[in-house]
Structure 1
Amino acid sequence: MDTTVPRVAERRVHVAPLGHEHDRIVEPLRRHGADVVYLLADAPDRAADRGAVDFEAASATDPADTRVDVDRLTDYQRDAWADAAEFAAVRALPVELADVYDVLGVTTTIAARHRAGESDGDRLFANVSTGPRIAAVGVAIACMIVGARPYSVEPETHQHDVDETPLTAGVVETVDLPLYPMDAPTTDQVAVLGRLHERAGDHLATDKWNLIEWAREGDLAFLREAGESRTAKYRALETHVLSPLRDRGYIELEDVGRSDTVRLTETGRRVYFAFQHKLGG
């Protein structure tokens, strides 16, 4: 793990799924001086949008005041929460750990909250060892997107009855994982996905000109230098937004009369939730 000395105003922020672990969660936080810890507690039935984070509730000092269902936690998971709170500010968040897009969206939202990767932001680390494999994938992808440091924790021993004891015990070492750049959708593309999601929720069809008019009112970047002609606006929408989204399977176009109806796919909906932090709201 990166152990270089942070700036005076810089905090070390850690994200860790609250899986069937104790030592693999707590010890890296203790050893590497975590200041703020986000524990991702499994909430398989949560009703909130994927990637949504209630930071106010997460900051509650009493676990009962958070949105986490504490009754679902084992004794050792509660102990991990309490032990980490002895030396760091712990914020617990409900996340559907079996949904890679929820884990991804929550982690990137946390990164945006702390301006991770910015010159005046906090330093973000993420533990990929302490939850189910799907959660590990979501956390790792999020780290690639925001430039955070993922790490893996090797245990000393393994246990098996996770209802009674943690899955593992002890820590041998913490290992940095390699970072790879990821081609995330642009802010304009995320905004258009959000517009399609909103319109679909209201059972409204959306064609290209509707998107252009909405983008013009919202001063989206792709239209600023497109020129005033209708053809130029269509070309800018297609080149900078629709074509990349269609190639990735996030949207579909359907010919309806003289216009094309733009539809959000299920993958596009999930990607919107994962990257909605880019819109700053």
Structure 2
Amino acid sequence: MDTSVPSVSERRVHVVPLGYERDRIVEPLRRHGADVAYLLVDAPDRDAARGDVDFDAAQAVDPGDIRIDPDGLTAYQRDAWAAVAEFAEVRAIPVAHADVYDVLGVTTTVAARHQASAEDGDRLFGNVSTGPRIAAVGVALACMIVGARPYSVEPERHRHDRREEPLTTGIERTVDLPIYPMDAPTTDQVAVLGRLHDRAEGNLTTDKWNLIEWARERELSFLREAGESRTAKYRALETHVLSPLRERGYVELEDIGRSDTVRLTETGRRVFFAFKHKLDGR
């Protein structure tokens, strides 16, 4: 793991799924001087939308004070929580471990909160060893998107009955995972996905001109240098927003009369939840 010394102002922030583990959760945080640990607690039926984080509730010090079922935690998960709280600030977040987009969205939202992609932001790490495989993929993808450091933790030995004891004990070493750049949707593209999602929730259709008028009111960047002509605005929308989204399968176009109706696909809806942190503060 990258153990270089942080600046005075930045903190080491870890995102760690609270799975059926104890030592692989606690020891990397202890050994590498974590300042803040976000424990992702499995909550498959949580009410919030994918990727949403209630940061106020996350700072509660006891499982019963946040939006999770404390009875759903094992004794060793509670112990892991308490052990981390002895040396780091613990923030627990309910998330559906089996929903890669929820894990991805929550992790990128945490990254945005700590400005992990900025030079003067906090340093973000993601543990991909402590939850189910889908959660690991979500954390790893999020780290790749925001330029954070994912890491894997190898156990000293394995156990099997997770209802009574954690799967492993002790750790042998912590292994850095490679960072790959990922072509995430732009802020404008995420904003348009959000517009389509909101309109679909209201059973409203959306054509290209509706998107252009909406984008103009919100001063989205793709229209700033498009010119005043209607044709130029359509071209800018197509070039910078719709064409990339359509190529990735996030939106579909349907000819209705003289206008093209833009529809959000299920994949596009999930991608919006994963990347809506880009709209924070807008």
Q: C-alpha offsets along residues 97-156 of structure 1, whole Å, 9 cap, x if unaligned? A: 000000000000000000002121100011000000001110000000001000000001
The 3-state SS of whatever aligns with 2:44 is: coil
Structure 1 residue 63 displacement after superposition? 2.2
Q: Which residue of structure 2 lines up, in the alignment, with residue 201 of structure 1?
A: 201
TM-score normalised per structure 1: 0.99
Q: Which residue of 2 aligns with 1:275?
A: 275
2:39 maps to 1:39: yes
CA distance in 2, matches of 1:235, 1:117: 31
1:62 is displaced (CA, Å) by 2.6
* Structure 2 Cα separation of the partners of residues 65 and 256 of structure 1: 51
1:229 is aligned to 229
How far did residue 222 of structure 1 move?
A: 0.2
Pairing 1:69-108 to 2, within 5 Å after superposition: 69-108=69-108
Distance 1:69 1:216 in 2: 44
**More divergent stretch after superposition (116-125 vs 34-43):** 116-125
The one-letter amino acid paired with 2:45 is D
Moved over 3 A (4+): none
Residues 1-281 of structure 1 correspond to what in structure 2 (within 5 A)? 1-281=1-281
Q: Sequence identity, in percent?
A: 80
- Give 3-state SS (helix, strand or coil) of 1:163's partner: coil
| Distance (whole Å) between structure 2 residues aligned to residue 152 and residue 6 of structure 1 | 21
What's the Cα RMSD here? 0.6
SS in 2 for 1:156: strand
- Give the paired residue count: 281
| Amino acid across the alignment from 2:47 | A
Aligned partners of 1:203, 1:15: CA distance in 2, in Å? Answer: 36
Which runs of 5 or more structure 1 residues have no equivalent in the other structure?
A: none
With structure 2 as the length reference, what TM-score do the two structures score? Answer: 0.99
